């Protein structure tokens, strides 16, 4: 009787873990829940997945329970571990990067946003960025400024970003990118300036609207954009 109950609880925990994980992102993306609640579901999914895996191991270690068949507990074990792995990796990524969410190729004079005032956090953010992401630097292209701005605009569109502001005369562009799982909308500012004869310098700033840590998303976005430019 006890083995049957344990098996049933393992199945329930595995299903609950999967549903919690599946709901965590879309519930935030479609404004059904606030992002803090989305993160809470994410955490609950981890613990439910871990519980499902542990119960499945207990069932597999119980001879009387194994006699009923191992297919279901093995499925619960695999599903529980798979679900728990996603939040675990999320947590590991957060620990591997500094708790900052505003990254730029120019920490001394960051590109400014055209559609709203978003002040740069200051020297402490800049210090942490330089320590964690020393490769985030301006991109220099061997093109006149006007052509460089055209390339910068095309690259932004090719990234799939929503361009919300563009001023070719000033050499500035603003865009919004939406993260895949939670649907967070991050703001991007691009500035193109002349840099010597026949050259232009392209600076980019990427800032998250919510949270303090971005798990490295903004730095990865800037790297991908610079690679696209090249």
Question: For 36-93, how does the pLDDT look when each residue is reduced to its tens digit (9 = 90+)?
Answer: 999 999 999 999 999 999 999 988 887 766 667 788 889 999 999 999 999 999 899 8
- pLDDT, average across residues 165-191: 95
pLDDT over 60 at 8, yes or no: yes
CB-CB neighbours of 9 under 10 Å: 16
pLDDT over 70 at 163, yes or no: yes
User: Pick the residue with more confidence: 99 or 115?
Assistant: 99
- pLDDT, average across residues 167-174: 96
**Residue that is written with structure tokens 């009387």 in the block:** 64
Q: What is the architecture, at CATH level 2, of domain 102-229?
A: 2-Layer Sandwich (3.30)
User: Pick the residue with more confidence: 172 or 211?
Assistant: 172
Question: For 12-48, how does the pLDDT look when each residue is reduced to its tens digit (9 = 90+)?
Answer: 999 999 999 999 999 998 989 998 999 999 999 999 9
Question: For 128-150, how does the pLDDT look when each residue is reduced to its tens digit (9 = 90+)?
Answer: 999 999 999 999 999 999 999 99
- pLDDT, average across residues 153-174: 96
According to the model, what pLDDT value does residue 61 have?
86
Averaged pLDDT score across all residues of the chain: 92
Q: Residue ranges per domain, the chain?
A: 2-96, 102-229
Q: Which residues of 107-123 are buried (b: 16+ CB within 10 A; e: fewer)?
A: beebbebeeeeeebbee
According to the model, what pLDDT value does residue 220 have?
96
Least confident range from 34-38, 126-130, 184-188, 219-223: namely 34-38
Percentage, residues of the chain above pLDDT 70:
97
pLDDT band, residue 155 (cuts 50/70/90): very high
State both tokens at 61. 């270690």
H-assigned helices in 31-144: 35-61, 63-66, 71-96, 123-132
According to the model, what pLDDT value does residue 3 have?
62
DSSP three-state, residue 146: helix
């Amino acid at each position: 009787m006890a083995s049957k109950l344990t098996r049933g609880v393992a199945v329930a925990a595995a299903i609950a873990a999967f549903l919690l994980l599946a709901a965590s992102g879309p519930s935030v993306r479609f404004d059904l829940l606030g992002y803090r609640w989305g993160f809470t579901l994410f955490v609950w999914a981890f613990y439910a997945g871990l519980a499902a895996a542990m119960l499945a191991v207990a069932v597999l270690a119980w001879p009387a329970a194994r006699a009923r068949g191992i297919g279901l507990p093995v499925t619960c074990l695999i599903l529980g571990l798979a679900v728990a792995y996603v939040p675990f990796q999320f947590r590991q990524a957060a620990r591997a990067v500094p708790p900052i969410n505003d990254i730029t190729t120019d920490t001394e004079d960051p590109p400014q946003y055209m559609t709203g005032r978003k002040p740069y956090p200051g020297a402490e953010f800049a210090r942490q960025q330089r320590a964690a992401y020393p490769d985030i630097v301006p991109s220099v292209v061997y093109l006149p400024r006007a052509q460089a701005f055209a390339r910068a605009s095309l690259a932004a569109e090719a990234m799939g970003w929503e361009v919300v502001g563009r001023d070719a005369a000033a050499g500035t562009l603003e865009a919004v990118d939406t993260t895949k799982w939670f649907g967070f909308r991050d703001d991007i500012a691009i500035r193109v300036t002349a840099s010597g004869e026949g050259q232009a310098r392209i600076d980019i700033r990427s800032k998250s609207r919510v949270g303090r840590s971005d798990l490295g998303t903004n730095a990865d976005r800037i790297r991908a954009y610079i690679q696209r430019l090249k």
